[in-house]
Amino acid sequence: MATIGQLRRLAIRSASILVLLLAWELSARLDFTTTFHLPALSLVLQRLWATAMSGDLGLAAMQTLLRALAGFCLAAVAGVTLGILLVRNRIVGWFFEPLVSVGLPLPKIAFLPLFVLWFGIYEQSKVLMIAFSAIFPVIVSTAAGTENVERQLVWSARSLGSSERAIFWQIILPAASPQIFTGLQIALPTALIVTVVCEMVLGGYGLGATIIGSMKMMDSIGSFAGIIAIALLGYASIQIMGLVRRYFLGWHQESQT
Amino acid sequence: MKAFVIRYLPLLILGGIWEALPQLGLVDRAQLPPPSEVAVAWLELLYSGDLAANGLSSLVVLVQALLLSVSVGILLGVSMARFSLAQDMFEPVLKALYPVPKSALIPIMIIWFGLGATSKVASVFLGCLLPIVTSTFYGARGVEQTLIWSSQSVGARPVAVIRDVIIPAAMPDILAGIRNAIAIGFILLISAELLIGQVGIGYLISFLGEAGLYPGMFAAILTVSAAGFLADRAFVLVMRRALAWRQ
């Protein structure tokens, strides 16, 4: 049974969102704002529905999703590999450690015009820009996770006669995986942010291009609809990432509680 | 000193390769101007005042947005941790805002505030706000209850409890949140400048790129990279200073 206190909290929590949405709708309906500055929520939802039915929304969302995923997967594979090598291989560690620690805090998006110069304005530059922005947290978390694997685990496996390859696949990688996933979970929102910027600056369809294109046509309804769509996409991808983590780490202590 | 050299030798090697590739004609000079050319272009940008003017504009936007997001973020985070009404009111809204890639809000800021500094400040502010609120909230909620009770028992008023007990105890989390916010702030600042144009270091980069002045573009990119790097390192030093009393 929910107590009265819990019900009251639930009411306040849902009311805060509802009041906000209602204020949005009313301020537009009562002409406190212009349709250009803040189009009514109902108009935005209608547009979202219309573009979903015509297939335009799905096409744009798919473009954005594929770009973000391509860049993210590239960053994940390269980042995990590099992160492990950073710890396991002395030469790789020596060479890349300073590059990674300098690269991590850089505002990578400033390199976008450079990527355009090298790779053009189409998919290649966008995907590589996304991967470049997302790779650093993956490398750093993977290296930290690999570094922190308990020595006893490795020693006991070795004393039982495991090969180095088995030790890597069966001990080091699983033991480091919680931190690897944390790195991936940091990299995913970054990949989405950068995808949207690339699409806004360089065009080439996708939700970012929809949002900025609508703005340039003074069609605010389109911009707001695009933002709701990208928010849903962001929400879904973050949730799915969480599920993937839980699926792969089902054996780990963190999933037992 | 020797350890420092060995540690940063790879950066030097990379710089050497970068210089050698275009000089030996292995890579097109236009695609990759050597560091020597970039350095000359940097000095030219410095003397012409372009770097200072655009850099200053970016700096002002960043500082304004950070100050705003730090004050609003701490206020919001602490009140959410202390008052369940505030938590119930703001948490759903923040949760709804969380998955939005904040760069998508830049066009809305342009619609609301026009093509100027206000839009940039608002975009950076929105990007920085969430990490600060979240970390302040968790930090303030984790403060030991006994500390709060003992301060109350010696007669501390609610404001004093927040100012003298909760905020200092939550400081490690708050500072970690601000560090994240600085990184995100740089991204949004440059993105907004690429889109809005007119002025700022992001604008300078895209302007030089579109004009085909690639050594200058490289110089501007390296400048903003250095700024992002130094801002992070400087903030880490500030963090250590500010948390020294805890040891």
Q: For residue range B62-96, what is the model confidence (pLDDT) as tens digits? A: 999 999 999 999 999 999 998 888 888 898 888 88
What pLDDT, on a 0 to 100 scale, did the predictor assign at position A257?
59
Closest-CA distance, B220 to chain A, in angstroms, reads: 9
Tell if the CB–CB gap between A98 and B8 is shorter than 8 Å: yes
Q: What's the pLDDT tens digit per position in B138-151? A: 999 888 888 888 88
Closest-CA distance, A5 to chain B, in angstroms, reads: 11
Q: Is the pLDDT of residue A1 over 60?
A: no
The pair phi, psi for residue B105, each rounded to 5°, is -85, -10
Q: Is the pLDDT of residue A136 over 90?
A: yes
Scanning every residue of chain A, which has its alpha carbon at the shortest distance from the alpha carbon of B103? Answer: A193
What pLDDT, on a 0 to 100 scale, did the predictor assign at position A88?
87
**SS3 sequence, chain A?**
CCCHHHHHHHHHHHHHHHHHHHHHHHHHHCCCCCCCCCCCHHHHHHHHHHHHHHCHHHHHHHHHHHHHHHHHHHHHHHHHHHHHHHHHCHHHHHHHHHHHHHHCCCCHHHHHHHHHHHHCCCHHHHHHHHHHHHHHHHHHHHHHHHHCCCHHHHHHHHHCCCCHHHHHHHHHHHHHHHHHHHHHHHHHHHHHHHHHHHHHHHCCCCHHHHHHHHHHCCCHHHHHHHHHHHHHHHHHHHHHHHHHHHHHCCCCHHHHC
Of A10-14, B49-53, B186-190, B192-196, the one with minimum mean pLDDT is A10-14
Q: What is the model's pTM?
A: 0.91
Q: Which amino acid is at A152?
A: Q
Determine contact: A240 vs chain B, CB below 8 A: no
Q: Which of B93, B101, B195 sits opposite A201 (nearest CB)?
A: B195
Closest-CA distance, B58 to chain A, in angstroms, reads: 13
Q: How confident is the model at residue A120 (pLDDT cuts 50, 70, 90)?
A: confident
Q: What's the pLDDT tens digit per position in B207-218? A: 999 898 999 999
Q: Measured between beta carbons, which residues in chain A are less than 8 angstroms from residue B93?
A: 16-17, 20
Residue B230 burial (C-beta neighbours within 10 Å; 0-12, 13-18, 19+): exposed
The structure tokens 């270091």 sit at: B201
Q: How confident is the model over B39-48, as a mean pLDDT? A: 93
What pLDDT, on a 0 to 100 scale, did the predictor assign at position A10?
83
Scanning every residue of chain B, which has its alpha carbon at the shortest distance from the alpha carbon of A119? Answer: B31
Tell if the CB–CB gap between B88 and A231 is shorter than 8 Å: no
Closest-CA distance, A153 to chain B, in angstroms, reads: 30
Q: How confident is the model at residue A2 (pLDDT cuts 50, 70, 90)?
A: low
Tell if the CB–CB gap between A215 and B107 is shorter than 8 Å: yes
What pLDDT, on a 0 to 100 scale, did the predictor assign at position A256?
66
Q: What's the pLDDT tens digit per position in B101-110? A: 999 999 999 9
What pLDDT, on a 0 to 100 scale, did the predictor assign at position A141?
94
Determine contact: A212 vs chain B, CB below 8 A: yes
Q: What's the pLDDT tens digit per position in A54-110? A: 988 999 999 999 999 999 999 999 999 999 999 888 888 888 988 998 899 999 999
Tell if the CB–CB gap between B205 and A113 is shorter than 8 Å: yes
Q: Are A206 and A63 in contact (CB under 8 A)?
A: yes
What pLDDT, on a 0 to 100 scale, did the predictor assign at position B171?
92
Q: Are A189 and A176 in contact (CB under 8 A)?
A: no
Q: Is the pLDDT of residue B164 over 90?
A: no
Determine contact: B10 vs chain A, CB below 8 A: yes
C-alpha dihedral, B140 to B141 to B146 to B148, nearest 10°: 50
What pLDDT, on a 0 to 100 scale, did the predictor assign at position A159?
86
What pLDDT, on a 0 to 100 scale, did the predictor assign at position B26?
85
Q: What's the pLDDT tens digit per position in A177-236? A: 999 999 999 999 999 999 999 999 998 889 999 999 998 888 899 999 999 999 999 999
Q: What's the pLDDT tens digit per position in A31-49? A: 888 888 889 888 999 999 9
- List A residues 123-182 in contact with B (Cβ-Cβ < 8 A): none
What pLDDT, on a 0 to 100 scale, did the predictor assign at position B150?
87
Closest-CA distance, B155 to chain A, in angstroms, reads: 29
Q: How confident is the model over B108-124, as a mean pLDDT? A: 93
Q: HSE on the CB side for B95, CA within 13 Å?
A: 11
Q: How confident is the model over A149-165, as a mean pLDDT? A: 84
**How many residue pairs from chains A and B have C-beta atoms closer than 8 A?**
151
Closest-CA distance, B151 to chain A, in angstroms, reads: 28
Q: Which of B108, B209, B217 sits opposite A227 (nearest CB)?
A: B108
Tell if the CB–CB gap between A231 and B99 is shorter than 8 Å: yes
Q: Are A117 and B214 in contact (CB under 8 A)?
A: yes
Tell if the CB–CB gap between A231 and B100 is shorter than 8 Å: yes
- List B residues 12-51 in contact with A (Cβ-Cβ < 8 A): 13-14, 31
Determine contact: B176 vs chain A, CB below 8 A: no
